Amino acid sequence: MDRVIFNEDHHAFRASAKEYCDRSLVPRMEQFLEEKTIDRAAWLEAGKQGFLGLDVPEEYGGSSVGDYRFNQVFAEEVSKVSASLSSCFGIHYDCAAPYFVDLGTEEQKQRWLPKFCSGEYVAAIGMTEPSGGSDLAALKTTAKKADGGWVLNGSKTFITNGDMADLVIVAARTDPSKGAKGITLFVVEEGMEGFARGRKLDKVGQTESGTSELFFEDLFIADDNVLGELDRGFIHMMERLAQERIGAAVSNIAHATQILHETIEYVKQRKAFGQSVGSFQYNKFLIAELVTKVEVTQAYVDNGVVAHDEDRLSAVDAAKTKWWSAHVQNEVLDACVQLHGGYGYMNEYRVARAWRDARVTKIWAGSNEIMKELIGRDLGL
Q: Please give the pLDDT value at position 135.
A: 75
Confidence (pTM): 0.96
Per-residue pLDDT of the chain (381 residues; tens, 9 = 90+): 899 999 999 999 999 999 999 999 999 999 999 999 999 999 999 999 999 999 999 999 999 889 999 999 999 999 999 999 999 999 999 999 999 999 999 999 999 999 999 999 999 999 999 887 667 778 999 999 999 999 999 999 999 999 999 999 999 999 999 989 999 999 999 999 999 999 899 999 999 999 999 999 999 999 999 999 999 999 999 999 999 999 999 999 999 999 999 999 999 999 999 999 999 999 999 999 999 999 999 999 999 999 999 999 999 999 999 999 999 999 999 999 999 999 999 999 999 999 999 999 999 999 999 999 999 999 999
Q: How far apart are alpha carbons 368 and 314 in whole angstroms?
A: 17
Residue spans per domain, the chain: 8-121, 125-230, 234-379
CATH 1.10.540.10 for domain 8-121 = yes
Greatest Cα pair distance in the chain: 78
Q: Please give the pLDDT value at position 137.
A: 77
**Catalytic (active site) residue 244:** yes
Report which residue type is found at 67: D
Which among 97, 101, 108, 88 has a CA at the least distance from the CA of 38? 88
Q: Please give the pLDDT value at position 193.
A: 98
Q: How far apart are alpha carbons 350 and 376 in whole angstroms?
A: 37
Cβ contacts of residue 125 below 8 Å, gap of 6+? 91, 95, 96, 99, 159, 160, 168, 169
Q: What is the DSSP string of 299-365?
A: HHHHHHHHHHHTT---HHHHHHHHHHHHHHHHHHHHHHHHHHGGGGG-TTSHHHHHHHHHGGGGTSS
> Exactly one of 229, 244, 295, 310 is catalytic; which is it?
244
Q: Which fold does the domain 125-230 belong to in CATH?
A: Butyryl-CoA Dehydrogenase, subunit A; domain 2 (2.40.110)
Q: Report the DSSP beta bridge partners of residue 156.
A: 214
CB neighbourhood size of 135 (10 A): 12
For domain 234-379, the CATH class is: mainly alpha
Report which residue type is found at 86: S
Element (H, E) at 158: strand 149-159
